[in-house]
Amino acid sequence: MMLSNGTGPNWSNGRTARRPLTWGYALVWYHGFIRQGEYGSMLGKLDFLKRHGLVTTGAGLSEVVGMDAAERDRVGEELAKHGLRLTPRIKFDYLNAGKEDRERETERIAEELRKWLPLMRGQIVTTEMCAGHRFDRKLPLEEKLARVSEALAPLAAICSELGAPLGVENHGDFYIADLVQLCQATKQLYIYLDTGNTYLIGERPLPAFELAAPYTIGTHFKDHIVGPRPDVYPLQFEVKGAVLGEGDVPLRECYELLMKHAPLKDKLVLEVEMIAPTDMDPQLCLERSLQFIQSLEPAAGSPAASQEGEIVQ
């Protein structure tokens, strides 16, 4: 199964869609998928994207830097030939690095991005807080945000200069409100929204999405089935895998919020991140998840639908 309008990945990078966006896959191989070794290499991951009509996946910048020249050349050829993209991930210890370390790491990342971003063809760059979590009591929250802002500001400026703005992801470590505060304090910094990770830190997803949307340049578009576990100790809130659109994350509402309020719609990257239920074949989970994605754009039966992509099996 693939998302297609008859020309491979064109539907999913917005060339014919009503709204400009790029669809990709986060390549998290849980359960059955993780045993499919053919997708272990970067070329295998690109083949997966091609076969499913998707356009992009995340890749650590250090992974690309560490490739031998022959492999990197082959990856670059595949990306250019098939209109695919790699979204670079960058990070260092933003919280604890001293001034000299910050400057050295910033210069290293800047040099690597300038050299390899054209090959990767990334529209955005992503990172994470690298600062523990808001409840770890190691530093006051405001001090954490201030330190991370100081470290990210020059990187955000460099990414903006290169035409691939920087987004920081919520990893179940900080509230979306914390990331919004960070973006407000850090020029040219945005949010890379993981829709499912809101539940990991106890946030209500929809209010979090409403806060995030005006700052969001990309997502890990993920669903979960959730529920409290008062029968165990320590008490838990259980977060399970789900077919996209069949869990408790309001993905359709999130999508519409992003279409209305995302600040850089021509850069918007939405990567499917799928955690299959333990009792479901991952391939079936993927097929049903892609069907849900297809249903988002446009509404079934609308005049635009006849001109846009359809599921091909």
Q: State which amino acid sits at residue 92.
A: F
CATH number at residue 177: 3.20.20.150
Instruction: For residue 5, tell me if it sits in a domain.
Output: no
End-to-end CA distance of the chain: give it in Å, rounded.
Answer: 4
The CA distance from 252 to 250, in Å, is 6
Instruction: For residue 312, tell me if it sits in a domain.
Output: no
Instruction: For residue 305, tell me if it sits in a domain.
Output: no
pTM for this prediction: 0.90
The CA distance from 262 to 234, in Å, is 38
List the structure tokens of 252: 């359709």
Instruction: For residue 308, tell me if it sits in a domain.
Output: no
Q: 57 pairs with which residues across the strands? A: 86
Instruction: Strands of 1-40 (E only): list them.
Output: 2-4, 22-25
The whole-number pLDDT of residue 14 equals: 44
Per-residue pLDDT of the chain (313 residues; tens, 9 = 90+): 666 543 334 445 444 444 568 999 997 654 445 445 555 688 888 988 998 999 999 999 999 999 999 999 999 999 999 999 999 999 999 999 999 999 999 999 999 999 999 999 999 999 999 999 999 999 999 999 999 999 999 999 999 999 999 999 999 999 999 999 999 999 999 999 999 999 999 999 999 999 999 999 999 999 999 999 999 999 999 999 999 999 999 999 999 999 999 999 999 999 999 999 999 988 899 999 999 999 997 643 343 443 333 333 3
Instruction: For residue 1, tell me if it sits in a domain.
Output: no
Instruction: Strands of the chain (E only): list them.
Output: 2-4, 22-25, 56-60, 85-89, 125-128, 166-169, 189-194, 216-221, 224-229, 236-241, 269-272, 310-312
Contact 12, 3 (CB under 8 A): yes
Range of 53's domain?
A: 19-298
The CA distance from 285 to 246, in Å, is 10
The whole-number pLDDT of residue 13 equals: 47
The whole-number pLDDT of residue 299 equals: 47
Contact 168, 152 (CB under 8 A): yes
The CA distance from 282 to 277, in Å, is 8
Instruction: For residue 99, tell me if it sits in a domain.
Output: yes
Instruction: For residue 118, tell me if it sits in a domain.
Output: yes
The whole-number pLDDT of residue 225 equals: 98
Q: How many domains would you assign to the chain?
A: 1
Question: How big is the CA angle at 266 (ends 262 and 269), to the nearest 5 degrees?
Answer: 70
Instruction: For residue 209, tell me if it sits in a domain.
Output: yes
